[in-house]
Amino acid sequence: MAGSRPYRPPAQSGWWSRLMAHLIKRWLAARDGGMAVEMALIAPVLVLAMLGAADLAQIGLQRSDMLGAARSGAQYFIGGGTDVERARLIVERSWTSMPAGGRVVVHRSCECGGVTASCVQLCTDGAPPDMYAQIELQAEVNGVFQAYQTVAHDKVRVR
């Protein structure tokens, strides 16, 4: 079309880009040192915030890895597995970021009507007890600022 203006993306022609360009030009032209003082005051806060975010992200990833490992042990029991020691090995192998002091505990328990019962005897109503596999992972997770003790649990009904 003759006489029409060429298209410019909104970011180049909007008030925001003009404001940012003006502020950047002002910052580059400033010679009184005010910007340096502001940066010296703000930079430590920004660095601490970034380290805190990295700390939380690292802890979250390690916790997620723990929960995934617990789920892999639960899947073993859901698939018909019965060996507690094998389930523990599966959990340990699935826990890719397991720290040196990490601990895995796997055990089975039975309940009759929500009360702990023997796995080899029938319940008082003659039904077999409900069997559960419980998986617990414990570890000290090291963050940037400090170490955190964390625990992950998973309980799955086997029978």
Question: What mean pLDDT, rounded, does the chain reach?
Answer: 83
pTM: 0.65
> Has residue 29 got a pLDDT over 80?
no
Structure tokens at 127: 């039904």
Q: Is 15 left (phi over 0), alpha (psi -120 to 50) or beta?
A: alpha
Identity of the highest mean pLDDT range in 36-40, 93-97, 141-145: 93-97
Contact by Cβ (8 Å): 113, 138: no
Q: Which helix (H) or strand (E) holds 97?
A: none
- Chain centroid to CA 110: 31
Q: Facing residues of 108 across strands?
A: 133
What local confidence, expressed as pLDDT, does residue 2 receive?
55
What local confidence, expressed as pLDDT, does residue 6 receive?
64
Higher pLDDT, 87 or 22: 87
What local confidence, expressed as pLDDT, does residue 13 receive?
57
User: In the chain, where are the structural domains located?
Assistant: 10-157
